């Protein structure tokens, strides 16, 4: 199996930035149009719409799924990290879940079930989820 690393997709983050920018611009325009005598700092309030996409961007960087040497490793966290490693031979089920919006953007969620007692692992909003699920299943079959 080839080694590679996956992060959640930027597609939903860029869409959130776009919507937040539209909201911020509309808010600034409304302040300028309907309350022109207000203080200048009031124009900063609509920029609060950018908080949500910034949070999404940071959370995206906090999740990493790696395929290395017959192991699947999921790392989460920014300052404190949690790392879970599963032998690909022990993976029993890989589920791809896609909402309607995810299907439109070509994204999906992967849920991995292994033979252990601790349950499964999940990674949200990744590109090409079916292709990655097939790769994991094929690697699991080869390891058995």
Q: pLDDT tens digits, residue range 100-137?
A: 999 999 999 999 888 776 678 899 999 999 999 998 88
pLDDT for the residue numbered 68? 86
CB hemisphere CA count around 75 (13 angstroms): 13
Indicate the pLDDT class of residue 6, thresholds 50, 70 and 90. very high
Nearest to 121 by CA among 64, 58, 81, 74: 74
pTM assigned to the model: 0.79
pLDDT for the residue numbered 120? 80
Nearest to 88 by CA among 135, 143, 129, 133: 143
pLDDT above 70: residue 43: yes
Rounded Cα–Cα distance for residues 105 and 18 (Å)? 15
Q: What percent of the chain has pLDDT over 90?
A: 64
pLDDT for the residue numbered 87? 87
Nearest to 72 by CA among 90, 93, 46, 58: 90
Backbone φ and ψ of 107, nearest 5°: -115, 170
Q: What percent of the chain has pLDDT over 70?
A: 97
Select the CATH number that applies to the domain covering 62-143 from these four: 1.10.3470, 1.20.58, 2.30.29, 2.30.30: 2.30.29
pLDDT for the residue numbered 69? 79
The encoded tokens of residue 52 equal 């949500």
Residue ranges per structural domain of the chain:
16-55, 62-143
pLDDT for the residue numbered 144? 67
pLDDT above 60: residue 96: yes
């Amino acid at each position: 199996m080839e080694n590679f690393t996956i992060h959640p997709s930027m597609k939903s983050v860029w869409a959130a930035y776009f919507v937040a920018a539209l909201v911020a611009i509309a808010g600034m325009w409304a302040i300028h149009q309907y309350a022109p005598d207000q203080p200048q700092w009031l124009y900063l309030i609509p920029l609060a719409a950018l908080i949500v996409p910034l949070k999404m961007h940071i959370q995206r960087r906090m999740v990493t799924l790696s395929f290395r040497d017959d192991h699947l490793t999921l790392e989460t966290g920014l300052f404190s990290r949690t790392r879970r490693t599963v032998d690909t031979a022990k993976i029993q089920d890989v589920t791809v879940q896609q909402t309607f919006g995810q299907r439109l953007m070509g994204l999906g969620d992967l849920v991995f079930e292994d033979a252990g007692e601790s349950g499964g692992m999940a990674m949200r909003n990744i590109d090409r989820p079916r292709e990655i699920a097939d790769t994991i299943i094929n690697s699991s079959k080869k390891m058995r």
